[in-house]
Amino acid sequence: MTEIESYLETIEPELRVLTRIFGFPESVWDEPRKFIPLSEEKEGQFTIAFAADGHRVERSTQAPEDADERIRTLHRRRAARRLCKQTLYDLLKEMTGIQPPWGSLTGVRPTHLMLEALEEGLTPEAAIGRLTADFDVAPDRAALLAEIAAEQRKLPKPGDEWMDVYIGIPFCTTRCAYCSFSSGEIGDGSLIEPYMASLTREMRACAEILKDSGRKLRALYVGGGTPTALPQGAFEQLMEETVRCFPGAMEYTVEAGRPDTLTREKLRAIRNAGIGRISINPQTMNDRTLEIIGRAHTAQQVREAYALAREEAIPHINMDVIAGLPGENEADFAHTMEEARKLRPESLTVHTLAIKRSSRMSLENHPLPDGNMTACMVETGRETARAMGMAPYYLYKQKYMAGNLENTGYALPGHACLYNVDIMEETSHILAMGAGGISKRIFPEEGHIERAPNVSNIHDYLTRTEEMIKRKRELFLNEN
């Protein structure tokens, strides 16, 4: 196997995403395969070609060099894989005439490329030009990335001396049809007490890890699942333990996504803990759709939850909505956006529906809006956010996303969520607790991230909590 072939050995999943974007069925990856890269390295250049159905495209790039062998390998692998994807993209575009809005970019974090260009000293206009020329990104999407980068540069700068904290509560009252997260229905509640005991043990141990690492707490996020699905006593315990173990964060967020789980008492527990940001997520304000997706609450309950949070003086409420939900059209989404205007959240995230294979919606094969209709919804979301005085501040993509579109977070001035930016851009270490949490240590100079995942199964987490703690001590304190 040649050097360049070794770099491409595991690239097939990324190439599958490309062919899916252009409408090819999964069968093109059956034997005999339709798209096989032909590669060579000659005179310090990587060359890759693809050919199919009478079409052929070939591209070359300079093979990077570096005195440090490990960095050289990382940069060469990156260059080879990027070249391979771009070459296949050019072939697929030539064969089909389709031009996706994000061009050849299949990664989760396209903002990386914009930030990278700006760090090199390019002007925003030149950076936009690079993305449109090198990756065929649509000009409006490239301009959106430039706007997001400008907003992110206003935030406190991340660095090795900082750490984010994530605390996961893997319980919901019901499971949404599109959900693929490692969470379960709360059921009879029998797992809550043992889970909280294990989580508390892990939180206290992680507070020591943070202290021993010499790092400062940057942002803290309590997510799930739905943390507010916990009964009042357990929820108060969680809030008290959170601020006791992890005081002094620049920002605290509690996911309160299901309005039917919120009470005045829980909101007071949040406020009394000094937590300033919550997320109440209707996903849609159409009752018929809420029933289809298994949300088990009504649009009126969303309105009531917002009113209650305002009465309890919660300073920052985020709203999540989803474009492309089953059975919805542009008018349905426009209604959701009109309701958002009335509720006036401080931040708004417009998601595009992504059907993961593990979700119930995938299994049930619900009819969904097509890519063009979903694109219109996403644009309506963008126009609504701007009309509310918000600017885009983070963006990410997912596989199996309608129309090869994106998720974009918008916020009023001074209300961008640090944690959202950090986790999406992977610019800050993350110390994660609870079932399914993934701790990350960032090595920016090497372009490398090491992870220490917690087990996702709740029963396994209860019996293996000490192992989860040990993994994080090894990751952040280099303990063997």
Decide if 455 contacts 182 (C-beta within 8 A): no
Closest CA to 186 of 213, 214, 224: 224
| Torsions phi, psi for 278 (to 5 deg) | -130, 165
- Residue recorded with tokens 């998601």: 351
Residue 444 carries which DSSP code? G
Contact between 118 and 127 (Cβ < 8 Å): yes
What is the distance between the alpha carbons of residues 226 and 236, in angstroms, rounded to a whole number? 14
Cα dist. 273→255, 256, 296, 339 in Å?
Answer: 14, 15, 29, 30
Specify the pLDDT at position 133.
95
Note whether 283 and 451 are within 8 A (CB): no
| pLDDT score, position 177 | 57
- pTM: predicted TM-score of the whole model, two decimal places: 0.90
Using CA atoms, how far apart are residues 331 and 333, in angstroms rounded to an integer? 5
Centroid of chain to Cα 381:
18
Report the relative pairing of strands 347-352 and 391-396 from DSSP bridges: unpaired
pLDDT (tens place) for every residue of the chain, 480 residues total: 889 999 999 999 999 989 989 989 999 999 888 999 999 998 899 999 999 999 999 999 999 999 989 889 989 999 999 999 999 999 999 999 999 999 999 888 999 999 999 999 999 999 999 999 999 999 999 999 999 999 999 999 999 999 999 999 999 876 555 554 444 556 678 999 999 999 999 999 999 999 999 999 999 999 988 999 999 999 999 999 999 999 999 999 999 989 999 999 999 999 999 999 999 999 999 999 999 988 889 999 999 999 999 999 999 999 999 999 999 999 999 999 999 999 999 999 999 998 655 445 443 556 678 888 999 999 999 999 999 999 999 999 987 777 789 999 999 999 999 999 999 999 999 999 999 999 999 998 777 899 999 999 999 999 999 999 999 999 999 987
Q: How many CA atoms lie within 13 A of 58 on its CB side?
A: 6
